[in-house]
Amino acid sequence: MNLLFWCRQINNANGNISVFALIKSHNAHNEKIYYMSTKRQEIHALTGVRGIAATVVMFYHFNASALMTGVAATMLGHGYLMVDLFLILSGFIIAMVYGRKFEQNINSEDFKNFLIRRIARIYPLYVITTLTAAALVASGWMDHWAGPEIPVSTLVDLTMLQSILHIPSLDTPGWSVSAEWVANLLFPLLALLCMRLSWRWIGLVAAIAFATLPFISMLPALIDEPKRAGILDIWNYETVYPVIRCIADFTLGIIVFRVSHLGWIKNITAFKFTAPILLLLILGLMTIKSADVWIVALFPVFILALIPGNNIVSRMLSTRPIYKLGELSYAIYLIHNQMNYFILALARQLESFGLSQTSAHVAAMFVFVGFVILLADFSYRLIEKPARHWINGFVIKKHQVAYQVTG
């Protein structure tokens, strides 16, 4: 009897990784196809860290650091670096789920399926928040950055290509979604390189990707950018640098996935104090205004340290409340910035009732933090998950094979 073994890895609607294997047996009388499925659980701590990062970005954009002083204000003032953490995580997770498809060659069918799956993941809610942002800008509840008229900006934003067309996103966080979409388009090529190169070349690529971040921050278009909050706060839509920032972070994430399989890396990250020490180092560096580069340098190592799940940091990030925030992180990220003017309006109203300016702003901010989380939960359950399942259905059905016997 001859055996033919075939395996395909997909990402199912719940975000877990499933490995589908077919064993096809031949003999003189019949042919049987056996279908088997195994699952590799998601890394819950990485989902949790996304939730923490999204929450930090929300407080950062709600200008909470203005209500603080000293070390606390400096730490939250580094909130923009959570975007780098998001992007490195994204590169890692996408490489974990899809990297094997492209490590040998770039197949057009696999590339098409990959793009459909990415669209299913990011586009439905992105469309909704883009349209709500357009409505809020048109009604005066959000700023309209210098650029095309609102209808034109809306159409451009819906292509997710505004970051390379140098057009501001109506929903401000959309700039990074657009930049990451460009990285997604490049992913098969990046995976082909990063999954196949020798370790010497991988080291060089990692060094270039990391060095790119401080290098572009010193280029003429950014060096005197008045709205930059720090060295690596690179988002100016009039330049291509935000896209370069994203591709550099995304590439680091792919490399993190590859090195995560090395034995000596596993030995280091298995040590239960590695993640706590790295977290303390990151938090300590966040108290230093100019420490951006060092903080981002620790993000890839911190991600590696969370993978084993045997330390107190991983366990905390895997607790149900934080894990839930991780599930809602994309919705929190897209929705929160549209609440800023409503926070100011509520704060003014609370001041009229006799609250101090600071107390009114704190109260209004926490009201809308809660509202954003509730709205994100609603969006996740009623928009993100159903839309992703519906779109993925067109792809997944092509690759699911039922147990079949022919005689």
Per-position DSSP letters for 137-183, written without gaps between them: HHTTSS---SSS-HHHHHHHHHHT-HHHHT---SSTTHHHHHHHHHH
Q: How many residues does the chain have?
A: 407
How far is it, in rounded angstroms, from Cα 341 to Cα 148?
22
pLDDT at 406: 36
Q: For position 222, what pLDDT does the model report?
A: 76
b/e per residue, 70-87, with b = 16+ CB within 10 A?
eeeebbbbbbbbbbbbbb
Single-letter code of the amino acid located at 215: F
Q: Where are the alpha helices (DSSP H) in 162-260?
A: 162-165, 174-196, 199-217, 220-223, 241-259
What's the alpha-carbon Rg for the chain, to the nearest Å? 23
Q: Are 175 and 235 in contact (CB under 8 A)?
A: yes
Tell me, what's the pLDDT at 227? 74
Which sequence spans correspond to the domains of the chain? 43-401
Point out which residues pair with 9 in neighbouring strands. Answer: 19
Rounded Cα distance between 20 and 35, Å, is 7
Residue 217 has a pLDDT of 87
Residue 25, beta-bridge partner list: 3, 32
pLDDT at 218: 87
Map residue 48 onto helix, strand or coil. Answer: helix
Q: What is the pLDDT of residue 103?
A: 87
Q: In this structure, what DSSP letter does residue 239 have?
A: S
Distance CA 202, CA 8 (A): 26
**Nearest-angstrom CA–CA distance, 352 and 333:** 31
- Sort residue 309 into left (φ over 0), alpha (ψ -120 to 50) or beta: left
Q: Which long-range contacts (CB under 8 A, 24 or more apart) does 196-200 make?
A: 196/103, 196/104
DSSP β-bridge partners for residue 131: none
Do 162 and 174 touch, CB atoms closer than 8 A? yes
**For tokens 């709600």, what's the residue?**
62
Which residues does residue 10 pair with via DSSP β-bridges, in sequence order? 18
From residue 273, give the alpha-carbon distance in Å to each of 17, 276, 323.
Answer: 28, 5, 21
* Half-sphere exposure in the Cβ direction for 292 (13 Å, CA): 22
Tens-digit pLDDT profile for the chain (407 aa)? Answer: 343 333 444 344 334 434 333 333 333 333 332 223 334 458 999 999 999 999 999 999 999 998 998 999 999 999 999 999 999 999 999 999 999 899 888 888 899 999 999 999 999 999 999 999 999 999 988 887 778 899 999 999 999 999 999 999 999 999 999 999 999 999 999 999 999 889 999 999 999 999 999 999 888 777 767 678 889 999 888 889 999 999 999 999 999 999 999 999 999 999 999 999 999 999 999 999 999 999 999 999 999 999 999 999 999 999 999 999 999 999 999 999 999 999 999 999 999 999 999 999 999 999 999 999 999 999 999 999 999 999 988 766 655 443 343 33
The residue assigned the tokens 């590339």 is 111
Question: What is the pLDDT, as a whole number, of residue 278?
Answer: 97
Q: Is 287 exposed, middle or buried (0-12, 13-18, 19+ CB in 10 A)?
A: middle
The confidence score (pLDDT) of residue 8 equals: 40
Q: Is 41 exposed, middle or buried (0-12, 13-18, 19+ CB in 10 A)?
A: exposed
Say what the pLDDT of residue 398 is: 57
8 Å CB contact between 101 and 109: no
Residues in contact with 255: Cβ distance below 8 Å, sequence separation at least 6, in sequence order: 91, 194, 202, 205, 206, 209, 300
Packing angle of the helix pair 44-61, 320-327 (nearest 10 deg):
70
Count each helix (H run) and each strand (E run) in the chain, helices first.
19, 4
Structure-token pair, residue 390: 């519906």
With tokens 């490399």, the residue in question is 255
**What gap in Å lies between CA 166 and CA 259, rounded to an integer?**
35
